[in-house]
Amino acid sequence: MTEMEERAEGASTAQERADLHSHTTYSDGALTPEQLVRKAKSSGITTLGITDHDNVGALAEAAECGRSVGVDIIPGLELSATLGEKDVHILAYLFDPSNERLLEYLEFFRRERLKRAERMVKKLNQLSIPVTLEAVLDHAGIGSVGRPHVASALLAGGYISNYHEAFDRYIGVGAPAYEKKYQVSPQEAVRLVALAGGVSFFAHPGKYTTEADLVQLINVGLDGIEVVHPSHSPTMQQHYRRLAQQYFLLESGGSDFHGGRKNDDTVFGAYTVPMRVVEEMRRRCFRSSR
Ligand SMILES: [Zn+2]
Ligand SMILES: [Zn+2]
């Protein structure tokens, strides 16, 4: 496949277009589930995977809105895991969003995130920065609290002059108010998804992983690799597609749309995958459930 064709597949203009990676206000997205689904509709997306970080709160509302506007919603989730010293993301699809074990885990993880935010605020206070946990939680809204919200609270309080300074001076790895995340292994994440009847994919491998990390992750039993992503050049897409084929894995893809700060509207509708990708995922779930 040439680079041009490669790009054409990533930016399909066929009638049916699936974007399998997006975020709402239930994690760090700027749009509510309903706003996101409506935006998908107007962007020409016919199948939308909603993949909030460690949170499934958006799925019911999104599915209802999807039914009324004519967008097929794929239940999704972007799980945080740790590989060695690195944070990695595992995308899950087509699981049962009411699976008890999964919900218990997400609730546990939510509490751990809250405790971590508390510890960072305490450290910042010790550094004579009077930011409060309430201010941090205000920035998180209904979503899972994380370092971006601590950074936003620091910026809003006038303690720093730009968003990145929060990470460089205070909460980045090795900085004085940094706190480690609760650590979940990729194996645990993949197992949790499988027990809830879903499939798991390694998210945006090109963003931060080496070939060795990828092989290690493949060995924990992932079902596939995210091939189409704004951080992947056409050559990288080709590379990950080949790897998926080599290891008999499925592929997925999407825009990782957040709205607002993280990326602009131009990505939504520009990073889609053909419908066969969704059909293969469904087949894999069906086969595993027998
Ligand atoms: Zn991610
Ligand atoms: Zn994402």
CA of 207 to the centre of ligand 1 (A): 9
CA of 290 to the centre of ligand 2 (A): 30
CA of 256 to the centre of ligand 2 (A): 5
CA of 263 to the centre of ligand 2 (A): 11
CA of 290 to the centre of ligand 1 (A): 31
CA of 130 to the centre of ligand 1 (A): 31
CATH of domain 3-105+182-289: 3.20.20.140
Q: Which residues contact 72 (CB under 8 A, 6 or more apart)?
A: 46, 47, 48, 66
The closest ligand to the CA of 23 turns out to be 2
Instruction: Give the start-to-end residue ranges of the domains of the chain.
Output: 3-105+182-289
CA of 229 to the centre of ligand 2 (A): 10
Residue 139, SS3 per DSSP:
helix
> Any bridge partners for residue 79, and if so which?
90
234-246 helix and 3-10 helix, angle to the nearest 10 degrees: 90
Would you write out the chain's pLDDT as a tens digit for each of its 290 residues? 444 444 444 444 457 899 999 999 998 888 999 999 999 999 999 999 999 999 999 999 999 999 999 999 999 999 999 988 888 999 999 999 999 999 999 999 999 999 999 999 999 999 999 999 999 999 888 877 889 899 999 999 999 999 999 999 999 999 999 998 889 999 999 999 999 999 999 999 998 778 888 888 888 999 999 999 999 999 999 999 999 999 999 999 999 999 875 556 788 989 999 999 999 999 998 766 65
CA of 51 to the centre of ligand 1 (A): 9
Q: Take residue 183 and report the two structure tokens written for it.
A: 């650590």
Q: What pLDDT is stored for residue 289 in this prediction?
A: 63
CA of 5 to the centre of ligand 2 (A): 25
